[in-house]
Structure 1
C-alpha cells in the first residue's frame, strides 16, 4: 500500500514536537515561536523507529538543501503552521512555500 507522504510528515512533526530533543535537526527559529507549537491533539504520531528514520533523512537533507527549505518543513510539520502562515513568518510568497514542499 502506498503511503501519503504529507500524512507521514505530519505524524513525524507531531512526534518531533513531542520529543524533548525536537529531532536531530537544529531548528533555531522554532524556539522563537514556542506559543505556536501545537499542543497535544490526541492524533497519533509515528513510532520511534519511523520518527528516527525520517529524522535522519531530514538531517541528511540539511547537508544539501538550503536552510530556508528546511525551515519551511519545520514550521509546516513540527510547528503545525498553515502554508500562508509559513509564508508570513518567513516573509516570502506563498508560491515559494508550495514549491519548496
Structure 2
C-alpha cells in the first residue's frame, strides 16, 4: 500500500474540509472554498442521511465501505476528534 492510497481529511460541521493530505487533494482536487458534498459527490447540496455525519451525532467512529465507482472502492473510518473539538477525521483506504 502506498501513501497515495491513504486519503485523510478533516471534516467540519458546516460541510467544509479545513485540511486534507496531498493524496486526498491529488484525487479530489482543491478543497478551499468547497463543501464535502461538492468535492466527494459532485453535488450542490448535502447528501441525505450522510453516514460521515453520524460520527458527529453519535460521538462514535463510523466504519464503512464506500464504492465511488466500478474502479474505486474505499474503506473509510470516521472519528470525532477528542476534547470536544468540532471536527471529524476521516481516513479513506483504497482497496
**How high is the TM-score relative to the length of structure 1?**
0.29
Higher relative contact order (CA 8 A, sep 6+): 1
Greater share of helix residues, 1 or 2? Answer: 1
**How high is the TM-score relative to the length of structure 2?**
0.30
Greater share of strand residues, 1 or 2? Answer: 2
